[in-house]
Amino acid sequence: MKPAPTLDRDRVRELFDLRGAYLAQTGGGYREDPYPVWHRLRAESEVHPGTVHELTGYPGPALFSGLPQPDRPHFSAFGFAACDTAYRNPDLFASAPEPVDPNKGKLDALNSMISMNGAQHRRYRALVQPSFVPAKAQWWIRNWIEQTAQQLIDGFARDGRAELNVDFCAAIPVLTITGSFGVPVEQALEFRAALGRPDAVVELIRPIVAQRRKAPRDDLISVLVEAELTGEDGTTQRLTDAEIHSFVVLLLAAGSGTTWKQMGITLTALLQRPDVLAAVAADRSLLRPAIDEALRWTPTDPMFSRYVTRDTELQGVSLPAGSVLHLCIGAANRDPARWDNPDEYDITRRVRPSFAFGGGAHACLGMHVAKAEMTTGIGALLDRLPNLRADPDAEPTRFIGMYERGPTEIPVVFG
Percentage of the chain beyond pLDDT 70 is: 98
Tell me the pLDDT tens digit for each residue of 260-271.
Answer: 999 999 999 999
> For residue 283, which of 349, 344, 348, 351 has the smallest C-alpha distance?
348
Q: Is the pTM of this model over 0.95?
A: no
> At residue 2, does pLDDT exceed 60?
no
What pLDDT sits at residue 22?
A: 66
> At residue 233, does pLDDT exceed 80?
no
Tell me the pLDDT tens digit for each residue of 286-345.
Answer: 999 999 999 999 999 999 999 999 999 999 999 999 999 999 999 999 999 999 999 999
Tell me the pLDDT tens digit for each residue of 8-36.
Answer: 878 887 887 778 776 788 898 899 999 99
Strand partners, 319: 312
What pLDDT sits at residue 254?
A: 80
Most confident region among 108-112, 114-118, 136-140 by mean pLDDT: 136-140
> At residue 7, does pLDDT exceed 90?
no
CA 154, 156, 157, 162 torsion: positive or negative?
negative
What pLDDT sits at residue 55?
A: 98
Give residue 4's region: left, alpha or beta (phi > 0; psi -120 to 50). beta
What contacts 24+ positions apart, CB below 8 Å, involve 140-146? 140/176, 140/180, 140/369, 140/372, 140/373, 141/372, 141/376, 143/179, 143/180, 143/218, 143/219, 144/175, 144/176, 144/179, 144/180, 145/172, 145/176, 145/372, 145/373, 145/376, 145/377, 146/376, 146/380
Surface-to-core class of residue 290, CB atoms within 10 Å of its CB (0-12 exposed, 13-18 middle, 19+ buried):
buried
- Reported confidence tier of residue 37, pLDDT bands at 50, 70, 90: very high
What pLDDT sits at residue 160?
A: 96
Averaged pLDDT, 272-293: 97
Q: Which domains does the chain have, with CATH numbers?
A: 9-386+393-413 (1.10.630.10)
Reduce the DSSP state of residue 74 to 3 states and report it.
strand
Tell me the pLDDT tens digit for each residue of 378-404.
Answer: 999 999 999 999 999 999 999 999 999
Assess contact for 46 and 76: CB atoms under 8 A: no
Q: What is the DSSP letter of 333?
A: T
> At residue 109, does pLDDT exceed 90?
no
Distance separating alpha carbons of residues 156 and 196, to the nearest angstrom: 31
**Single-letter code of the amino acid located at 53:** H
What pLDDT sits at residue 376?
A: 96
User: How far apart, in Å, are the Cα atoms of 163 and each of 10, 37, 157, 170, 265?
Assistant: 13, 31, 12, 11, 14
> For residue 279, which of 346, 327, 228 has the smallest C-alpha distance?
346
Averaged pLDDT, 199-205: 88
What pLDDT sits at residue 4?
A: 56
> At residue 167, does pLDDT exceed 90?
no
Strand partners, 307: 94, 324
Distance separating alpha carbons of residues 412 and 157, to the nearest angstrom: 11
Distance separating alpha carbons of residues 392 and 162, to the nearest angstrom: 13
Range scoring the smallest mean pLDDT among 99-103, 176-180, 201-205: 99-103
Q: pLDDT averaged over the chain?
A: 90
